[in-house]
Amino acid sequence: MSETILVVDDDREIVGAIAAALEKEGYRVLRAYDGMEALDMAVDPELRLILMDVMMPKLDGLSAVLRVRERRNLPVIVLSAKSEESDKVLGLSMGADDYVTKPFSMQELTARVRSQLRRYTRLGDVNAVPDGTVTNGRLAYDPANRTLTADGEPVKLTNIETGIVDLLMRNLGRVFPAEEIYRRVWGEEAWSSENTVMVHIRRIREKIELNPREPDYLKVVWGIGYKMEKK
């Protein structure tokens, strides 16, 4: 895997660190230090993904994303020190595929890069999944075979975990209290179910989430229950 990735940030050290981490993973890395430079680099035909900082001199990241998107359909991950929800919404709605707030862990970043690349380069058309398969962002669940894939790669789940995933993937966005999950998956009345369910949820997260501490898919709704976020 020698896909080319463009890293754009006005902080050279951050670019250096990201580049080092990505090169270690075996990617080819292009470096740019402002928006204009990024636009110049983005013409490289080998380019497969862009990591873009938001606040940069000359041309800010979001504008650069817009202008790249006019010419090419590339996955873009936005890096920003702005962690407000509104900032994330703005970034995503301007054409970013993912939004990572600084400071980030390198492992999470590389995982997200991998995820985006898989979806764009390997899976091709995201919608081209077999009939009956529930697709949700990076995840795809086939209820007939009770199999789950993340970024096209199969996820190994235990029976209980498959039961929970089956329930949540069939009801995207719906919140289930722990007792209900217990009753449906274990098939018996709930008794002190919160802990038991939580343990399994945590395990599933470790298998499907890029950053299990800040889950994107399997979310807790505090005071109500658990749900599979609809992407």
Among the listed residues 207, 131, 139, the one whose alpha carbon sits nearest the alpha carbon of residue 168: 139
Using CB under 8 A as the binding rule, the residues of this chain from 179 to 198 that contact other proteins are 194-195, 197-198
Task: Return the number of the residue (48 or 219) whose C-beta is nearest other proteins.
Answer: 219
Site string for other proteins, 31-60 (x = CB under 8 A): ------------------------x-----
3-state secondary structure 71-128: HCCCCEEEEECCCCHHHHHHHHHCCCCEEEECCCCHHHHHHHHHHHHHHHHHCCCCCC
Q: How far apart are CA 118 and CA 46, in angstroms?
A: 16
Decide: is 177 part of the binding site for other proteins (CB under 8 A).
yes
Decide: is 91 part of the binding site for other proteins (CB under 8 A).
no
DSSP H or E run through 39: helix 35-41
Decide: is 222 part of the binding site for other proteins (CB under 8 A).
yes
Decide: is 89 part of the binding site for other proteins (CB under 8 A).
no
Decide: is 158 part of the binding site for other proteins (CB under 8 A).
no
Size of the site for other proteins (CB under 8 A): 32
Q: How far apart are CA 215 and CA 223, in angstroms?
A: 17
Q: Which two tokens stand for residue 196?
A: 């038991």
Footprint of other proteins (CB under 8 A): 11, 13-14, 17-18, 20-21, 24, 55, 81-83, 85, 102-107, 177-178, 194-195, 197-199, 220-225
